[in-house]
């Protein structure tokens, strides 16, 4: 952990795209700018962008910069193994995909009650700890998406865990479905440094509802993202805040306010409290656009994009949302009403969203004339 230079990390889950491919030319520029500004933490996973994130890490970071100039985190994801014997080969493949011979951090990915049971059955924690003892990675941790009691159970059973990655942002702080505050307090109780994911809630805290935007504009300070990221980074014990940057402009903005990080002051905290209230009153679908749900959908429904249309309509009474729904997100793919309710998507959703019910509401909103 001593090799980490600053408390802000490059999440490689939402990289800039050029059609179906990662725009590696742009990613190279972003990586260079990030390192140049004194940051050095990168986060990926085997499934991010259907394998293209690890490839981009290799092409844009590890093959172009000395190993000691960056800190790289990867994860063991439930989708890619069913038994113990599959874990080592998967790990070796991840090293190869990223072009490195060790990871700095290796996390048991998206732990929940269900995944933890599977990881235990497959001796995943034990296998990972063996890999660590062999020098294949340096620090052992988990990323977590479930109730605080489950986090407490995991940390009690595996005191070897060194870091915990949790979803943490000003809207989810006391949100009953996420309970960031309680999860954070458990990390503190167990003395585990915290890595924050989703500080801007999948972009929802960047494109704020108009009333919320007005509150932040009055501060005459930084961007909407800056308040969200500085909020998360300002808590005691936060080792790292990750941002899934997908454009150079976002990176430049983030570098600007995280290079010499300052926590939010009292006035800014008050504004955030107002924004949180406005946000909560809108009752938006709390999808973070992680896209874990989409590869397995037999009807090829672009679930997060349809939820984004629904939220845009609620937030801005945005008529464009209808255009996007019909002409962009469902023209080649399934509509909300095509859902056959198989439930596969819900098993993958780290936010535990009732996707089938939500799609019914989306269909009712956008497919009125056709129904």
Which of 355, 362, 363, 366 touches ligand SF4 (CB under 6 A)? Answer: 355
Q: Does 342 bind ligand SF4 (CB under 6 A)?
A: yes
Burial of 36 (0-12, 13-18, 19+ CB in 10 A): exposed
Closest distance to ligand SF4 from the beta carbon of 208 (Å): 19
- Which range touches ligand SF4 (CB under 6 A), out of 189-197, 210-218, 221-229, 351-359? 351-359
What track of x and - describes contact with ligand SF4 for positions 286 through 315 (by CB under 6 A)? -xxxxxxx---xxx-x-xx-----------
Closest distance to ligand SF4 from the beta carbon of 37 (Å): 30
Closest distance to ligand SF4 from the beta carbon of 97 (Å): 22
Closest distance to ligand SF4 from the beta carbon of 339 (Å): 3
Q: Does 348 bind ligand SF4 (CB under 6 A)?
A: yes
Closest distance to ligand SF4 from the beta carbon of 338 (Å): 7
Q: Does 11 bind ligand SF4 (CB under 6 A)?
A: no
Closest distance to ligand SF4 from the beta carbon of 322 (Å): 20
Q: Which is nearer to ligand SF4, 273 or 340 (CB)?
A: 340
- Which range touches ligand SF4 (CB under 6 A), out of 73-81, 125-133, 159-167, 283-291? 283-291
Closest distance to ligand SF4 from the beta carbon of 240 (Å): 21
Which of 38, 159, 263, 343 touches ligand SF4 (CB under 6 A)? Answer: 343
Which of 171, 251, 264, 339 touches ligand SF4 (CB under 6 A)? Answer: 339
The footprint of ligand SF4 (CB under 6 A) covers 287-293, 297-299, 301, 303-304, 339-345, 348-349, 351, 353, 355-356, 359
């Amino acid at each position: 952990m001593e090799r980490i230079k600053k408390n802000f990390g490059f999440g490689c889950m939402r990289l800039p795209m050029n059609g179906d491919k990662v725009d590696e030319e742009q990613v190279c520029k972003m990586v260079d700018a990030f390192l140049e500004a004194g940051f050095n933490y990168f986060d990926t996973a085997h499934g991010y962008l259907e394998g293209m994130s690890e490839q981009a890490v290799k092409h844009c970071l590890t093959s172009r910069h000395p190993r000691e100039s960056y800190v790289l985190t990867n994860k063991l994801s439930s989708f890619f193994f069913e038994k113990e014997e599959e874990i080592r080969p998967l790990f070796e493949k991840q090293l190869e995909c990223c072009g490195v011979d060790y990871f700095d951090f290796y996390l048991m990915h998206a732990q929940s009650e269900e995944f933890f049971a599977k990881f235990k059955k497959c001796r995943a924690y034990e296998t990972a700890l063996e890999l660590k003892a062999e020098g294949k990675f340096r620090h052992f941790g988990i990323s977590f998406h479930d109730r605080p009691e489950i986090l407490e159970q995991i940390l009690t059973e595996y005191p070897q865990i060194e870091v915990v990655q949790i979803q943490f942002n000003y809207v989810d702080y006391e949100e009953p479905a996420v309970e960031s505050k309680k999860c954070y307090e458990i990390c503190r109780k167990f003395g585990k440094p915290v890595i924050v994911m989703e500080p801007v809630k999948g972009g929802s805290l960047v494109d704020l509802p108009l009333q919320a935007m007005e509150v932040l504009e009055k501060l005459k300070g930084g961007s909407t993202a800056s308040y969200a990221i500085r909020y998360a980074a300002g808590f005691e014990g936060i080792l790292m805040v990750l941002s899934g940057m997908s454009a150079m402009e976002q990176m430049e903005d983030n570098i600007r306010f995280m290079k010499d990080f300052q926590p939010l002051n009292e006035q800014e905290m008050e504004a955030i409290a107002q924004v949180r209230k406005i946000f909560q009153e809108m009752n938006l679908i709390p999808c973070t656009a992680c896209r874990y749900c989409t590869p397995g959908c037999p009807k090829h429904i672009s679930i997060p994009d349809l939820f984004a249309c629904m939220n845009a309509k609620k937030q801005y009474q945005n008529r464009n949302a209808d255009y996007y729904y019909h002409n962009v997100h469902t023209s080649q793919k399934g509509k909300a009403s095509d859902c056959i309710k198989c439930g596969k998507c819900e098993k993958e959703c780290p936010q535990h969203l009732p996707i089938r019910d939500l799609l019914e509401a989306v269909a009712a909103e956008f497919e009125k004339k056709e129904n």
